[in-house]
Structure 1
Amino acid sequence: MLSCDSTVDGGVCYVYLVGTSHLSKESCQEVEAVIDFLKPEVVFLELCPARTSLFKVPTIGEMVQIWKRNRKLFAIIYNFFALKLAMKLEVQPGDEFHVAYEEAKKYGDKVVLGDRPVQYTLHRTWMKMSLRHKIKLLSTFMFQSFFSPSSEVINKKLKKMDDGHMPTIQEVSKEFPTIMETIIHERDKYMSTN
């Protein structure tokens, strides 16, 4: 919980930040419980309007149509990876956003989709990556997409992450330095402004 000076009655505004996992059923339940309990005036989601497509993972046919429209290989591979995960887990990647959106609307709360447009973020990330990192990232996605472990193994890894054994963004940034800059720092600045 953060508090800041405000012109509202009482002179203080409270901001509640809910950390979630994009692949966790528990995160969906936590988001629902927080919004139900607080009934906030505004719910800010780490989504841009284009990413509301997270509410539905595209089919293979829809991915082909996406490819025909914009030829963005990175987006196609990401969507394919999301589809594979959704098929193995009880929750689709990003379901906590959908739950937050629906829960906020239930109480008539204003929902702000305040993230930077995903196309811009993906483009900046891809263009800033070295050829070596692009190849490494693509091979990681391809390997995970075609040889992904069973849902039990994935859920076990997610549980371990929930228990605090999650690789830090600093560890990930050692592998892919531009990801930290474009996907974390730049978006944090954009969202805090919004």
Structure 2
Amino acid sequence: MSSLPDTVSVLDCPNGSKVYLVGTAHFSKESATDVQKTIQQVRPDGVVLELCVERQMILNMRDEDIMQQAKDLNWEKVRAFMASEGQVAGLTHAVFIKISANLMDKLGVAPGGEFRMGFQEGTKVGSTILLGDRSIRMTFKRALRALPIWQQLRLFYMLFTSVAFDLDISPEDIEKMKNFDMVEMLTGEL
């Protein structure tokens, strides 16, 4: 097989099949390109996207539409999140959308391009598309429950101050995050 991107790990399974794991970052154009190249070369039977059912609507959205939705976040939408997801999870969801909007402005890339590319290319080659992530609501709830109340309050304070919305990050920083050592270090800090 011709050379796969450096972000691809090939796992040999006991039954003789292979799994091609593509390391990606949500705000990376290069990640989408890596996914595209891998699917075109491998032509897999199945493509698993690290995406839950609640977020599957992004698969058919254009980057411009995602950027506009994030920019259009208002208190009415925040209240709707809180009503459907619970107050804390809905508020957390809204804060992450606001942070994403800031990152989109700085980087010029909408999150999830690697998912959309995986869906599009997988469909082209006839792969079965599988969603392989737990509910985003469950993820938010578990993350918050893992923190003591004082750390939850600190987190919300940090998220609601302008510091959290004005992250100093570059496309190069995003690419570095695909490095295993960087991910391990960040996970340890969290």
TM bucket, shorter chain: 0.7 to 0.9
1:80-118 C-alpha deviation (Å, 9 max, x unpaired): 111221122232122111111111011121110011111
Q: Secondary structure at the match of 2:173?
A: helix
Matched, 1:59 2:78: no
Structure 2 gaps of 5+ residues are: 1-9, 60-65
Separation of aligned partners in 2, 1:109 and 1:65: 36
Separation of aligned partners in 1, 2:136 and 2:128: 22
Structure 1 gaps of 5+ residues are: 7-11, 177-194
**Contact 1:25 1:91 survives alignment (8 Å):** yes
Matched, 1:158 2:167: no
TM-score, length-scaled by structure 2: 0.74
Task: Kindly state the Cα deviation for residue 155 of structure 1 after the two structures are TM-superposed.
Answer: 2.2
Separation of aligned partners in 1, 2:112 and 2:118: 10
1:27-82 C-alpha deviation (Å, 9 max, x unpaired): 11111000011110000111111122455353354563253243411111011111
**Contact 1:160 1:166 survives alignment (8 Å):** no
Q: Which amino acid aligns with 2:14?
A: D
Cross-structure match for 1:39: 43
Runs of 4+ in structure 1 over 6 Å off: none
Cross-structure match for 1:122: 140
**Contact 1:84 1:145 survives alignment (8 Å):** no
Aligned pairs for 1:83-122 (under 5 A) are 83-122=101-140
Task: Kindly state the Cα deviation for residue 121 of structure 1 after the two structures are TM-superposed.
Answer: 1.4
Task: Kindly state the Cα deviation for residue 171 of structure 1 after the two structures are TM-superposed.
Answer: 4.1
**Contact 1:25 1:90 survives alignment (8 Å):** no
Mark the CA change 1:24 to 1:46 in structure 2 (over 3 Å): closer, same or farther.
same
**Contact 2:102 2:166 survives alignment (8 Å):** no
Aligned pairs for 1:1-80 (under 5 A) are 1-6=10-15, 12-55=16-59, 56-57=66-67, 58-61=69-72, 64-68=76-80, 69-70=83-84, 71=87, 72-80=90-98
2:183 to 144, 168, 176: 168
1:139-178 C-alpha deviation (Å, 9 max, x unpaired): 44344443333xxx5224235445x49643344443x3xx
Task: Kindly state the Cα deviation for residue 138 of structure 1 after the two structures are TM-superposed.
Answer: 2.6
Separation of aligned partners in 1, 2:187 and 2:155: 11
Greater RCO (CA < 8 Å, at least 6 residues apart): 2
